[in-house]
């Protein structure tokens, strides 16, 4: 395998992982917004912050 091919493969893997992480954060935020609408979370909840903090705890 050529060095350029190896680098390209690493970039593809990195990009895939980044995309999955971003999609997971969007999903968690969407779930939090649903909880606000259902009355389970306060109306002034920061759903994006909640998603970030939950994701951070899960990554430990």
Sign, CA dihedral 46-30-32-14, equals negative
pLDDT value of position 52 = 97
pTM comes to 0.82
Confidence class for position 1, pLDDT limits 50, 70, 90 = low
What pLDDT, on a 0 to 100 scale, did the predictor assign at position 17? 96
Q: What tens digit of pLDDT does each residue of 7-44 get?
A: 899 999 999 999 999 999 999 999 999 999 999 999 99
Tokens of 57: 């705890």
In angstroms, the CA 53 to CA 25 distance is 10
């Amino acid at each position: 395998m050529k060095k350029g091919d190896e680098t390209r493969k690493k970039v593809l893997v990195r990009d895939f992982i980044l995309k999955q992480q971003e999609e997971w954060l969007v999903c968690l935020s969407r779930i939090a917004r649903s909880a606000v609408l259902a009355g389970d979370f306060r109306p002034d909840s920061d759903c994006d912050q909640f998603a970030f903090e939950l994701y951070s705890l899960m990554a430990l």
